[in-house]
Structures are given as C-alpha cells and as structure tokens.
Structure 1
Amino acid sequence: MWGVLGLQGMCGCYCCLLLLQILVAVAQVAQGGSRCPATDRRSESGCRAPLQCFRMAETHVLMERLEKAVIRLESLFSDSHRSSAVEYEAVNGVSGGVAPYVEAFDRLLNGSVAEFLRNSRTLEGDVKTHAEMVRAAFQAQRSFLLLASQYQEPQENEVAMLLKPISDKIQEIQNFRERNRGSKMFNHLSAVSESIPALGWIAASPKPGPYVKEMNDAATFYTNRVLKDYKNSDSRHVDWVKSYLNIWSELQAYIKEHHTTGLSWSKTGPVASTMSMRSILTSGQCVSLPPPPPPPPGPPPLFDTENPKDEATASRSALFAQLNQGEAITRGLRHVSDDQKTHKNPSLRAQGPPVRSPTKSHTPSPTSPKTPPRQSHSPVLELEGKKWRVEYQDDKNDLVITDTELKQVAYIFKCNKSTLQIKGKINSITVDNCKKFGLVFDNVVGIVEVINSRDIQIQVMGKVPTISINKTEGCHIYLSEESLDCEIVSAKSSEMNILIPQDSDYKEFPVPEQFKTAWDGSKLVTEPAEIMC
C-alpha cells in the first residue's frame, strides 16, 4: 500500500510521521465512509441501521483528526521554510547564518550599550549627541565582526582599509570632545573620548582584553569626577557612569570568551575585501546604520572671472584673422582729405591733439581681507590628574598656580596678553601657541618648552636645567643667579635674547640665528656667523 502511495523513501522525522497519520486517516475515511441510509423508520431503541450510524460517527472523528494534522503540518512546514531560508542562504560560498560570537555581540548591544543610550538620553544635550556617535561606532564594529565571521583574514593593508569606518567613528567622537571644551558635561565627554579607542581591540593581538581594560581605566579617571560632582545631587549621572563602565566590563568578558588571542576570522569562504564589506552592509544582516552622508555638491558655478579669458582668446583670433587678409586689410581704411592733414593744413597743429574722454579705471578698489570669525573657548585653569591646564586665557595678568608637586606638569595653550606665575617646584612646563605671554616660575626639574609662539617673556626665579625654543618669534629669557648653568636649545626661531643678572640689573645677550658651516678636512664645522659674534 505504501509503495503505491510513494512513501518508500520517507524518513522518520516528525513531519513525515504526521503526514503518515494524515494518509492513514484518509484511507480509513475511504474504506468506512459510507453514508448512513436516510430512513424515518426508528424503533424505540434508536436508529434502525446502527452499523451505518456507527461508521458515520467514526468518519466525523477521523475528519477532525485529519484537519488537526493538516494544521500542524502546515505550521511545521512554514517554520522549516523560514529556518531553511536563513540556513541555506549563501552568496559566493558565504553562509548567511550568524556566527555565535556575532550573536553574543548583539546581546551586548541590546544590553549594556542600549542601557547607556537610555541613560544618555535622559541627560540630553552634548551627552546625548555623544552617545549617538558611540552607538554608530558599535554598529560599525558589529558589521566588521559579521564580516570576519564569514570571510578569511586578508593582508594587513586590506585590514586597515576595512577598519577605516571604525577609526573614523572614533576620531569623530574625540573631535566632538575637543570642540566642546566649554561644555558643562565636559567630564562626561572626556570619559567617552578617552576610552572609545577600546573599539580598536580587533586589531590588537595576542591579548586584546588587557587593551580594553587599559581604556576602561582611562575612563575611570573622568567618571570619578562625574561621581564627585553629582553623587549627592543627581542620580541620573550615577546611573550613566555605571552603564558606561559596564560596557567595557562586558566587552572584556566577551573578548575573553570568543577572541582570547585576537579576532577570530573564518577559516572558510573567500578572502575579505572592501567589496565584501559592501555586500555585508547591503545584505540586510547588519543592524540599522545611520543614514549615509549627503551626496557631494555639484560643480561650482561659473564666475565672471572666466569671461576675460574667453574675450582675450576671441580678440586674438580676430586679430589673426585680420592679419591673414593680406592686401585686403586696407580696404576698410577711411580716406583722409588734404584739409585734414596737418602737414598740408598748419592751422590744425595749433589745435593740439584730440582729447579723449575719460574712462573708468578697472583697477579694483582695495578691500580689507576678511578675517575668519574667531572661535570662542572658555578659559581653563585646572589640575587634570597630574597636569595643570592653562588654556584660552586673554588679558589676564593675575594667573597664579600655587599648589604644585614635583610630579606635576603645566601645559599652557593659546593664551594671549596674559601672565602666569607658578610657585613651588614642578616637573616641566610647555608653552604652546601663545602670543604676548609672560611666564614666571620658581623651579623646574625637567625642561621648559616654548613652541609655535610669539613675543614670549620667561623669568626664572630659581633653577631650571634646560629651556627649549622651537618655531618661535621673539623670546626673552630672564635667568637668575642659580640658573646661569641652564642650557638653551633653539630651532627655527628668531629674536631670542638671554638676560643675565649683573649689578642689580640685567644685561642682554642675543642668541645666534645665523650660522656658517665649513669643511675642515674630516668633518663639518658649524659656528655662529661673525655678524652675530
């Protein structure tokens, strides 16, 4: 019987057994499904044809079983169809399924990262904007992990190209912090900016986990400041800190489980390339990414400055066309009568040459160059870890740093027309991109550097071993009696003067800017030019 029905090759799976039940039910209905005769003759005990009525009732039961089995079979077929569509989807030998470590990363995104985003949205402002950038960076990393799970590892230069979307997102996050130094949430932005390079763990080997921990420690420095400022006033910031640090803790656990010695690339499939990444992004397997940037602008409009060039070309063409006329060129000349000739009519000489009508000058009027608007920054004078940050100070002559330690350094950036005094002993001082700035300090155990600055005055009250001057125009250094053994190193700088104390006053000595070099037979000898001696 089963051979007639074509079931010799059926397997023993649940779907086949269910189909077998349906066929058995159909056969039973066919064999015993005769109708009960329609008769009105009934006895007191019931139907006059009990056997036919029994068969009809049994047929109803079999029909119900058949309907239930068909419904169950249809649901099983629909489920198996959906799973097989994912299981057997493949392009160029790449399985369309998701690797276990990609699923684990999705759980991280839907867990700690999603919680961080929710807490950031409650704080709003710069923190919310920064968090959206973090979300985009994690999505870019998810795409890279999906690529690695389906493709083999390419050459190093190709890997660098594939990592570029992630590195661009990291750079965008860090630039946002730099553009918003005056933000009230600067510690929040700094915590994210200093630790987001942890997403570069995919390029770290053989132990990417410790690299993430190092970035997490960098974030802790700023999150401790956030907790100090808001622990007793606003619990939202506390929740934000916990959710953010939890991301890196879970990422370390994820790496330890799935990528202990480095990113796990697929051992099968083609070698990854930029085209592979495009196919990943367009296959619908990735989480939603932010919309692409707007298309590049069209070509710039044509300005009137191009017209004179065309007119000059047309004029030259007309001139050459006239020269090529040969003898016919004189046909257009007007005949001059004798009364219009000066050598035959002397009265014309007394009249002088004809006066030309004045023409407007085409020389453009001088216009003052437009200076770009100066970006305003909030002035900074604070201790950040072991670094004193003095930034964007304008017209401030009363800046003082008193609580100094030997391990601390000072970084002075873009200060104009200001004066800073540093008391005590400090490790080093850097003056960067400052103009008309005065610095007075007691003692420095390391080095004092002046870079990319103009009109700088430095006074040493105690002792300093080395002063370095680079790319600076105008630098006056007042040494003390204790610092006369100081070494001064200069490069690409001008107008440098050293002032030495003598008889309760200072005597000025210029630092050579011009040198002469000569060959002495074995080596080059360089010394200041005579004009500077």
Structure 2
Amino acid sequence: MPGQQGMHNFSTILKRLEAVTSRLEDVAVSSSSPAPTSSLRSPTAAAHENLAPTSSAAPPPPPPPPPPAEEAVTPAVKAYQDEIIDGALQEFIEKSNELGGLVQQHSSLLPALCEAQLQFLKLASNHSKPSTPTALGPLLEPQGKAIQAILETKEKLSRSKEGRDWNVCFNVLGEGVPAWGWVQVEPAPAPFVAEMKNAAQFWSDRVVKQYKDTNPTAVAWAKAFAQLLTSLQAYVKQWHTTGVAWNPKGSPAPSSIPSASSSSSAPPPPPTSSRGGAVTAGLKKVDASQMTHKNPDLRSSSVVPDNARKAPPLKPKPGAAPAKKPAKLELEDGNKWMIEYQEDNKNIVIDQTELHQTVHIFNCKNSVVKISGKINAVTMVGCKKTAVVLDSAVSSLSITSSPSFEVQITGQIPTIQVDTTDSGQIYLSKECMNTVEIITSKTSSLNISVPTGQDGDFEEKPVPEQMKSKIVGGKLVTEIIEHAG
C-alpha cells in the first residue's frame, strides 16, 4: 500500500529529526556550561570536540628547547683534572688527613680552590678572553674568595691557643697558596708559580727540620704540598706558557662563572675557634719543655728525657732583648743551603754549589753572603742590612721583609722578586740587561743599578712608587709617575 509506505517513511524521518534536535540541544548546553574539571567527559562533549572547526582549536605548545651542548674538554683541562686534582692534590689531602688536627682543617680548604680553578679553565677553553680586566674580574672571583679563605684561616689558627705549635705548617700553606693566582699573570706565569713555590719551600724545610724525628706524618704532609706546587708549575709551563689559554674562536665569555659550578667552587667558611677543642681531641698533649722547636738544646738529639718537664719559664720583661738563637750555615738533604741567624758576619761563602741546590737566608743581620757557581734559586726572608752576591740562578731570587738589603748579580738570573721591603739596592750585570724581570710589591726606596760599560760604572735607576689612575672612555687607565732625580 503506497499510502502506508509513505506514512512509514515520514515517521522514520521525524524520528531522525528528533534525534538530531536532541543532539544539537546537548551540544548547546555543553558549550554554555563551564569546562568539566574531570578527565571523564560525556560522549556528546567528545563528539562536539571532534566536530569543532580546526580554526578555533588552541595552538599546540612549542617543542621544548634542545638541551645545551656539553662544553668540550680540552687536553689542558683534562691535564689539570688528572695531574693536579686527581693526582698531586689527592696525595696531599691524604697526607693531611693522616696528620689530622688543625693542619688537616686548614688543608681541607685547598680542594675548593683547585675546583674553582678547574671550572675557570673549562670556561676559558670554550670562550674568548674578555676584552677588559673589569670583565675578567667576576670570572676570577671564586678563586679569589677561596684563596682569601685560606689566608684568613691561617691568621685565625695562628692566633689560637691550639694552633701556636703548628704555625710553621700554617705558613707553608699561607706562603704557597698565592701560586694559584697564576691565572692573572702574563706573559710568564710559570716563573710566578716558582716564586711562590720557593717561598713555601722555605717553610716546608723548617717543617722537615722540626718534625723529622718526632712526627714523620708532618714531614710527609710538607713534602706532599711541595710536590703539589711542583706539579702546578709543570702544568702551567706546559699548557699556559704565556698566560691562560683562552679559545680565540670561542664565543664571548659570560659575565660570571655558570651557576652549575658555583656550588662546587664556593669555598667553605673559615673554621671558628669553638671547633678547636673538637679537632684536637685525641692529640697527645706535649709539654713545652719537650718540644724541640722551643728548646734548641734538644735539637741535637732525637731523644727527649723523661725528666724534661720543668716549671714554665718566666716571661721576659717588657723591652728586654730576645735571646739570640745559634747561627747556622749547613747543607741539608744535599740540596738546601740553610743560612740562619747570622749577625755581623761579612764572610759567608757558599762555593760548593750544584745546579739543583737552593739557598735559604733567614733572619740574618748586617751580614754578607757570597754564592759562587750556578744554582737553582735563592730566598731571603726577615733579614736586615744583609747583602747577597750571586753568580747565576736558574729560577729566581726572592726577597721578602728584608729592609736595607743589597744584591749584586755577576752572571744571569731570569727573575728577581722583592716583596714588603723598604730600601734596597740591586746591581745587575751586563748579561742580565735583556733577560731579567724585576717584580716588586709593597716596596719603597728601591734602586736598580745598571752597568754603563765605562770602567765598571753603574747608573742608578729608582723603581717608581707612585701610580696615577683616571677614567678614560669608561675604562680605568693606570700609569706610572716617575720623578726625575
């Protein structure tokens, strides 16, 4: 029946229209209500999302940035890690841990300095050198703080009651740690390290002398530090001959050391005096009368008598002259000439010299030391009105806290360093004229006499003491002020 079939088709169409209308109403309600907070959604809402035009959809999030490329590890950086940190430094820390006490506490600050220098060398190997000292300063700051922490701790421990018996060890580290400042020295940083090594060697030798019969662990500690400085000098000489090896093809250096390394390069805070009792607990108490470094009469023997305990000596009256210590002139260990406490002796002669030997002059007054032949190095510390006549040296001559000194070089020497000294005279030979470098700091009234070539005459040239600084184009420019005499 055509009529019934038409009615059936019409009824089917109405049902489909009702279904479509119901679906549209659901869509309208879904779009006007807040977005569901649950991750479960109705099929109607899901269908709406699928049917929505692509132009109204939110843009996809940008892809995450690629991870930063790791900086290349150059052979110079790897050598510092292997030879210094994992090599000589590790050996030194092991010896300091064996020694323990305040010396170990002081030594434990050194790894932070070496780690800070490693991070700086990594940065330098991947970047070009900053164009101004002002821009370089923040990059050196972590190392500077680490050195400062070691020096401040030396002063604090030296003044503490527990540390008085270990001052000679504190001086070893205090005199040697400035060697890590080679990163600021151009064009010859290796000789600078050698200077600091010689200054520390003077005190290392005193540690060996003082403890060789009573505390071999302290002797091993001092020798390990000397070896660390030797390794540092060899490293700098090989990889940074004229200064820090920057990467001329690298990107400009950042304004500071990246934060990723700051935690490892920051030095620990200086120890407080309240920890002194804890770190010295377990150390054997030694009476002052049994200490060889306080009793010269005991130094000739390695045995301290049991009855050596005596009442503490009375303190000298104010203004009283200190007791004189015995003069000394001897060769130790076959390579160290020790000249100490000589007074009014104008005939000190060292003529049986060899190339590997060093000469250490300490606390001499109004004396003359003549050194024949070619040796390694000479240091003079704490002397007054003392003169040195030297043929030649492979490394350097270092003069510290020795007012009114005189030095005459008859052969060749690459470096002369004068520090914290007032009034001095240096006579150079013709062989020195184009080779020697003279480095001064905290000095005054220092004169350099150069040969004129006329019957052995000399022309005296004063070392400038004044500097003038001004701002030019936003930069600090410093120049020497010379006064015509």
Q: TM-score, normalised by structure 1?
A: 0.39
Of structures 1 and 2, the larger Rg is shown by 1
Q: Tell me which of the two structures has the higher relative contact order, counting C-alpha pairs closer than 8 angstroms and 6 or more residues apart.
A: 2
Q: TM-score, normalised by structure 2?
A: 0.42
